[in-house]
Amino acid sequence: MQAVDSLACAEALSVHEAKTIAKSYANTIKDDLEYLRCIVAVGGNTITNRWRKKSGGKSDKTLQTAFPRIFSTK
């Protein structure tokens, strides 16, 4: 099978190729979610305590960096 750049397709994909790419994305998302759940289970209290210690300005800036449209209106 020829390597396919899944983010840039100049032509239509076959149903099989589309399903393969979609399954790959779904598996990656599932793996990432499992990883994040483990991180939160192990270090959730530390993460929460550090977040609470940030000043309002620092936490706002962190959120704006991660989600630029989060504070579009106040």
How far apart CA 72 and CA 65 sit, in angstroms, is 13
List, for residues 7-35, the tens digit of each pLDDT value: 666 688 899 999 999 999 999 999 999 99
Q: Where are the domains of the chain?
A: 15-66
List, for residues 57-66, the tens digit of each pLDDT value: 888 888 888 8
CB-based contact 21:13 (threshold 8 Å): yes
SS3 label, residue 13:
coil
Average pLDDT on 35-53 reads 88
Smallest CA-to-CA distance from 6 within 20, 16, 32 is with 20
Instruction: Please state the pTM of the whole predicted model.
Output: 0.54
| Per-residue confidence (pLDDT) for residue 22, from 0 to 100 | 96
